[in-house]
Every structure is written in structure tokens, then in C-alpha cells.
Amino acid sequence: MNTNNKPKEYTSRQMLPIIFALAWPTMLEQFMQTAVQYIDTAMVGVLGTHATASVGATSTFNWLIGSTISALGVGFLAYIAQSLGAGDNNRARKAAAQSVFIVIVTGMFFTLLLQLIKNLVPVWMQVDPVIQKDAAAYFGILYAPMLFRTASIIFGTVLRAAGDTKTPMHIGIQVNLLNVILNFLLIYETRAINIGSHVITIPGAGLNIRGAALASAIAYIWGGLAITYKFYAHTLISPKGQNIRPDTTILSSVMKVALPNMLQRFATSLGYVVFASMINAIGETATAAHTIANTVESAFYIPGWGMQTSAATLAGNAYGAKDNKKLTVLSRTVLPLEVGLMVISGSLLFIFAPILVKLFTSDSNVISLATIVLRMVAVSEPFYGVPIIIEGMMQGLGNTVAPFIYNVMGMWCIRIIGTFICTKLFGLGLISAWACMIGHNILLFVLFSYQYLSGKWKSKMNRFL
């Protein structure tokens, strides 16, 4: 990463290794997270459709909370990446210290709030009354360590803004492996397994879905502690010796970026909650199929989100260095690369959808329904890759207003209203809801492509900070 004021000439060939150097650790981290999500879903799926539905019924609330917190991280990413690009390491460290203040306040707020509403969330989500009690118990345990989860999200983003994507990757891998190990010990009863002529007894707490939630909660605590330690030990942006009391100058700049992004993520994630609640109302089979399909699909967005992190950091760095040519070369390199990767991932998803779904359930109705919707969305993946990258570069520049408008418009005007009409008025099922979701993604492709082709996506160049 260029952290001095002297511009450096870049070509696409020279830019590629820089992009991949930042992207691959994020991709590996997300791959591990997705692999563990696969394992979690499969392990809970052994308990039956009821357990899968109980866990999945409130899963979209995770997006609502996590994405709202992540928006704060985006504000710090833009500020710190731009500061380092301008060669102002001291300003970057001061911003890193302010992220500590935000983590403490935000983490404590969400811890209290989510424990107060844990029994209401399944009701709001229109969860089948039969599974509401289990869904509420799972939710309450999972969200108890919100302070630690907040630290993981925001400190991880700050480290990536400094070009350190490996530390969040290493800690993410630790968290995921710990989660899997604890799942084996907490979900199932004590049991004996045969390995050749030997019988091995594996201890188990037999806590079922509560065990799955507890395993995740303990892993989150470890992740929060580990990333905080690494953050404070970082040579470039450690907040040691810095004042963590509120600095209005820094926080106001961070919030200029974070607030539109936060409103966007809150509004779109709330849309996911409403979307999921309408699917839950269709029935247990639709809920299970939707949960499994979301889990399977998430693995195939890894190239997109990994590249977005790289694009955001490099765009912010180019902004700070006032290097418009580097920004242009970045965009012309990363966009075709992203489309190519998403074509490959979409093709693989289309081909292997039924095999992947069968990893999580043996219910033939769920398998059939989840396979259909996955093959539908696989066709749209290359289109979705374009807005992911353009939005990432705009975040790095601090331009978050247009993405806010586009995402809210797509979520509420296309996905939510469309799904309401299809499922509530016409009595259609899960397939129609996912068709509306694809329509949402296509709209984002059109709107963000307009931003890019018109040049408006970098209109804030040299006007922030």
C-alpha cells in the first residue's frame, strides 16, 4: 500500500498482485466462515427440520445487527485508508483510538437491547408458534456476547483499512474451528463411535440447538479478545497512548461516511427480516429450504466480498494520495476480474446445487425447493458482482449516499413489495419470493453500472477529509 504523497504509476498487470494480496486473506476467512456455517447447518439439520427452522427463523436478524455495526467500520475504513494514503499515520492512529470508543458504546448498547427483545423477535418474524420458544432461546444465547462481536467487526475492518487482511483471517479461522469443536461437544449427547476395532467415547452435553448457540457465543468471545489484542499490538495503527475519549472532528468525518451506510444497511437488513418473515409465514418447509439455500449460496459470494474489501481499501488509499490515475486503473482491473470470478462461481452453484443441499437435509420436499431457487439465483450472480465492487470503491472514497438510495430502493420497492404481492395476494410460494430477490439484484446492477459509466461514482474524489 502506498503511504506517501508521491504518486506511483500503475498498470493493470501491476495492480493485480496488489488486489489479490489484499483480497485472498479475506476470501479465505470468508471461506472458513462459510464452511463452518455449512457444518453448523448440517449438524443442526441432523436434529430434524424443526431444529433447522428454529435456528434459521431469526438468522436474518444477524444481518440486521451485524450490518449496522459493519457500517461504522466502513466509516473508519474510509478515514484510515485515506489518511494512510496521504502519509498521515498519526491521524490514522487517532482514528483507530476512536474506534475503541465506538466499540464500547455500540457493543454495550446492542447487548442490552437484544436481551430485552429476544422473546419478541420470533413473534415479529412470524415464526411458527411451535418453534418460537426454541428460536428465542437460540437467539438470546447467540447474541449475549455482542461487545466481543462488535470488537471483531470494527477492529477487523480497521486492520483491513491498514492493509492487514491476514490478522482478521487468522483469528476468523480460530473462531470457526473453535465453534465446530464446541458444536460436537455441546449439541449432542455423549456417544460412542467405532474406529476400526476401537470404540471411542465422545462426551456431549446434549443441549441441541442451545448447544449450537452456546458454541458460537464462546467462539465469538474468543474472537473479540484475540482481535483486540492484535489490534493494540499492531505497529502501524495501534491505539496505545492515544485518547479514546470522543474526538468530534474525527467522529464527524467518520459518520459522514458511516451514517448513510448505516441507514442503508439497517434499511436493507430490516428488509431481509421482513422478507424472511413473509417466507416463514409460508410454512416450515419454505423456512427450512430458504435457510439452507441461503447457507449454500453464501459460499458463492466469497469472490465478490473478498474483492470488495480490496477495492475499498485501495480506492481509499488512492483518494488519500490524490492519485486519480491509480483509481481508474484499479476500477478497470478489478471489475472484469470480479465478473469472471462470479461467472465461475455461478456456474458451479448451478451444477452442484442439489448435491450441496443434500448435505443439510434428507427431506425431499426441502431438497427440491432449495435446488430450484439456488439455480435461479446462480444465473444472476455475475450481474450482482458488478454492484458489489463499485459500491466497495465508493465506500473507500467516502461516497455512500448513492449506494444508500439504490439499495433501499431495490430492497423495498422490488424485493419486499414484490414478495408481498406474490405471497400474500396471489398465494405463491418461495420460488416467487426468490424471483423478486433476483429482480432486486438486477436493479442494483443497472443503477451501479450507471454510476460507473457516468463517472459519478468517484464524484467525491478530493472533497472528503
- 3-state secondary structure labels for all residues of the chain: CCCCCCCCCCCHHHHHHHHHHHHHHHHHHHHHHHHHHHHHHHHHHCCCHHHHHHHHCCHHHHHHHHHHHHHHHHHHHHHHHHHHHCCCHHHHHHHHHHHHHHHHHHHHHHHHHHHHHCCCHHHHCCCCCCCHHHHHHHHHHHCCCHHHHHHHHHHHHHHHHCCCCHHHHHHHHHHHHHHHHHHHHHCCEEEEEEECCEEEEEEEECCCHHHHHHHHHHHHHHHHHHHHHHHHHCCCCCCCCCCCCCCHHHHHHHHHHHHHHHHHHHHHHHHHHHHHHHHHCCCHHHHHHHHHHHHHHHHHHHHHHHHHHHHHHHHHHHHHCCCHHHHHHHHHHHHHHHHHHHHHHHHHHHHHHHHHHCCCCCCHHHHHHHHHHHHHHHHHHHHHHHHHHHHHHHHHHCCCHHHHHHHHHHHHHHHHHHHHHHHHHCCCCHHHHHHHHHHHHHHHHHHHHHHHHHCHHHCCCCCCC
225 part of a folded domain: yes
328 part of a folded domain: yes
Looking at residue 462, its pLDDT comes to 40
Lowest mean pLDDT among 48-52, 90-94, 334-338: 48-52
Is 80 exceeded by the pLDDT of residue 315? Answer: yes
261 part of a folded domain: yes
For 295-305, what is each residue's pLDDT tens digit? 888 888 888 87
Give the domain range for residue 169. Answer: 12-458
Mean pLDDT score, 163-183? 90
427 part of a folded domain: yes
4 part of a folded domain: no
Lowest mean pLDDT among 35-49, 138-152, 254-268, 328-342: 35-49
Domain count, the chain: 1
Share of the chain above pLDDT 70, in %: 92
Identify the top-confidence range among 39-53, 323-337, 426-440: 426-440
16 part of a folded domain: yes
Mean pLDDT score, 437-443? 94
Mean pLDDT score, 209-238? 93
For residues 292 and 227, which has the higher predicted lDDT (pLDDT)? 227
Mean pLDDT score, 384-399? 90
Is 50 exceeded by the pLDDT of residue 25? Answer: yes
Is 70 exceeded by the pLDDT of residue 332? Answer: yes
464 part of a folded domain: no
